[in-house]
Amino acid sequence: HIAIAGNIGIGKIDATRLLARHYGWKPHYEQVAHNPYLEDYYRDIKRWSFPLEVFYLKERFKDLLQLQKQQEDIVQDRSIYERYVFTANNHDLGNLDDRDFETYMELFEDMTDVVRYPDLMVYLRCSVGHLASNIEKRGRSYEEQMPLRYLESLNRRYEDFITKQYQGRVLIIDRELDFLANPSDLGFITDKIDRELFGLFPDK
């Protein structure tokens, strides 16, 4: 069970699809478009943060319960643990009050207590400028109103979570990648995954 983590626009869907094809594993995608609160959220983040985050949390929990019953090797586009990053970020920005955040965290902790960590979380890290460029290219109308400071604060939250709080096994890819245009970028990741999981290559 490999989970692909990273900020909005980092390329998690492409990475999940290409890694699943490379290894012959089953891809499992986050169902972004199916969240009924998403468009409302980008129009009024403060009003819709709590229902949006609770919806994502219960969907990721259902995903993990299902995945843990399967015997297949899986590449997952974003795990339940990243929901903490987004919710804590909204709390930091004043989009969630303390009461809603505490309620959410109780749910989050109860759910994550009964599931297992992925065997490896691959964290894709890059600059906000690269994220903004990718978001512009994919042209999702509901993302066009996203403030740049929101991406910046998410990047900071991800760094804090991955390096200081997450207790599972992590591989950090610190590089701006284009999986579709440059096959060598995918090879860069698979070499590191092979070394991390299978010990096939010496450290460089």
**Catalytic machinery residues:** 77
- Provide the CB-side half-sphere exposure for 111 (13 A, CA): 22
Do the beta carbons of residue 61 and residue 80 sit within 8 Å?
yes
Which tokens is 130 given?
């690269």
